[in-house]
Amino acid sequence: MFETLSPAPPDPILGLGESFLADNRPGKINLSIGVFKDEQGQTPVLNCVKLAEQQLLESERTKGYLGIDGLADFNRLATELMLGGIVPPQQVAVCQTPGGTGALRVAADFLAKSLAPSRVWCSAPTWPNHGPIFESAGHEVKSYRYLSADRRTLDLEGMFDDLQQACPGDVVCLHACCHNPSGIDPTAQQWAAIAEQTASRKLMPLIDFAYQGFGDGLVEDQVGIRAMAQKHAEFLLCGSFSKNFGLYSERVGTLMVAVPQVDSANSVASRIKLAVRSNYSNPPRHGAAVVATVLSDPELRRQWEDELTGMRQRIHRMRSEFVAETKRIGCATDFSFLMDQRGMFSFSGLTPLQVDWLRTEKAIYIVGSGRINVAGITPQNLETLAAAVSEALSV
């Protein structure tokens, strides 16, 4: 039967990673997948993670299964980190998930199984995996405008116009901070207006919080969640520790559902478990144990916050050095707009044709939409990259 199957297209992000690995040209540059790189171009294990792993090596006594909803300490500490001071913990149903992607999929399954498949509104553009995740769970995916025509600012009016077509009960997927792929986030005032709009239309917010700490800081990056919580007694939050703990391959994420009553938190939690059990049964322990160890130890936590600040500042520095270098060489485009964007990603403005040219001619890998992973820029590749981008602009 499988003979009739044609190959599926490669994933727009992870597929590029595979091509990059297979490329043996020296000096190749990978600005596609969203992983942090240090000044040497490496994706390091954080020191606080190494120390926590040493502690775990000594103290771990079992590899027995976790509960369906994961490690209790992790769930408590993650809730404190992401929703502390915003929603009382007894009003949050929480579940440890395999990464932020796992959180989104469990959220999608929970909504489809416990309520009914609904329409999910995603920003245009959004992370290319959002649509397939919601569709896999049976939801219909719609999109709302997010960026102005030049793709350098937020189009709030366009967003509100499009959301006028949403019906009560529809889900609206929002990026809490460091919008992926554009790096363009709403201001505090714009968040308040978005919350007003989604609440008045009785939409259900599903907030993707994959980059806490990569925008302006751990607390600063909660600005949108705070605004939504003021207008919505119920919302879903999907968090990830891939980026801010550098635990990509350990798959550590969390799904939180905020509700107005403790009773509903229990019912929701039981429904989430149902969705998990028939999917992957229960989550892996190691990464969550690392996060719980770091967050519960004041010294490790301080170290983590310092390391996170270091990652954030490095990305910011690379933004400004790229802008300065492209100016210095007289590039036709002024890239100063990159300085207003937050997190790992930016829209470079490069067209699909230019992106293709950079890959084939210069071994520089960028996602087809023109999204660049700013964290992939290093002092070593900066000049080559700026010159190649400048050349690509005339292609």
239 CB-contact burial (10 Å; exposed 0-12 / middle 13-18 / buried 19+) = buried
Smallest separation (angstroms) from ligand LMR to the CB of 3: 31
Smallest separation (angstroms) from ligand LMR to the CB of 295: 22
CA distance to 15, 36, 92, 96, 241, per residue, from 281 (Å): 28, 30, 21, 12, 20
CA distance to 76, 216, 240, 256, 274, per residue, from 51 (Å): 21, 26, 21, 28, 35
142 catalytic, yes or no?
no
Smallest separation (angstroms) from ligand LMR to the CB of 270: 29
Q: Which is nearer to ligand LMR, 186 or 376 (CB)?
A: 376
Smallest separation (angstroms) from ligand LMR to the CB of 345: 7
Among candidate residues 208, 221, 273, 362, the one labeled active-site is: 208
Among candidate residues 69, 109, 127, 185, the one labeled active-site is: 127
Q: Which is nearer to ligand LMR, 224 or 253 (CB)?
A: 253
Per CB under 6 A, contacts with ligand LMR among 113-172 are: 127, 129
Q: Interface mask (CB under 6 A) for ligand LMR, residues 10-39, using x and -?
A: ---x-------------------xx-----
Q: Which is nearer to ligand LMR, 166 or 291 (CB)?
A: 291
15 CB-contact burial (10 Å; exposed 0-12 / middle 13-18 / buried 19+) = middle
Smallest separation (angstroms) from ligand LMR to the CB of 243: 8
316 CB-contact burial (10 Å; exposed 0-12 / middle 13-18 / buried 19+) = middle
Smallest separation (angstroms) from ligand LMR to the CB of 200: 31
Q: Which is nearer to ligand LMR, 127 or 365 (CB)?
A: 127
Q: Which is nearer to ligand LMR, 68 or 238 (CB)?
A: 238
Q: Which is nearer to ligand LMR, 33 or 386 (CB)?
A: 33
Q: Which is nearer to ligand LMR, 205 or 376 (CB)?
A: 376
191 catalytic, yes or no?
no
- Candidates 75, 79, 123, 180; binder of ligand LMR (CB under 6 A) is 180
Residue 5 DSSP symbol? P
How many Cβ atoms from other residues are within 10 Å of residue 39's Cβ? Answer: 11
Listed in sequence order, the residues at least 6 apart from 54 whose beta carbon sits closer than 8 Å to its beta carbon are: none
Smallest separation (angstroms) from ligand LMR to the CB of 180: 5
Q: Is 176 in the site for ligand LMR (CB under 6 A)?
A: no
Among candidate residues 243, 273, 304, 362, the one labeled active-site is: 243
Core vs surface per residue 369-389: b (16+ CB within 10 A) or e: bbbbbbbbbbeebbeebbebb
Listed in sequence order, the residues at least 6 apart from 63 whose beta carbon sits closer than 8 Å to its beta carbon are: 285
Computed over its alpha carbons, how large is the radius of gyration of the chain? 21
69 catalytic, yes or no?
no
CA distance 163 to 7: 36
Q: Count of residues binding ligand LMR (CB under 6 A)?
A: 6
In the structure encoding, which two tokens stand for residue 211, read together? 């980059």
Residue 246 DSSP symbol? -
Q: Minimal CA–CA distance to 234: which of 176, 172, 159, 188?
A: 172
Q: Which residues pair with 237 in a beta bridge?
A: 207, 256
Which SS3 state, helix, strand or coil, does residue 204 take? Answer: strand
- Contacts with ligand LMR by CB under 6 A lie at 13, 33-34, 127, 129, 180
Give catalytic residues, as residue numbers: 127, 208, 243
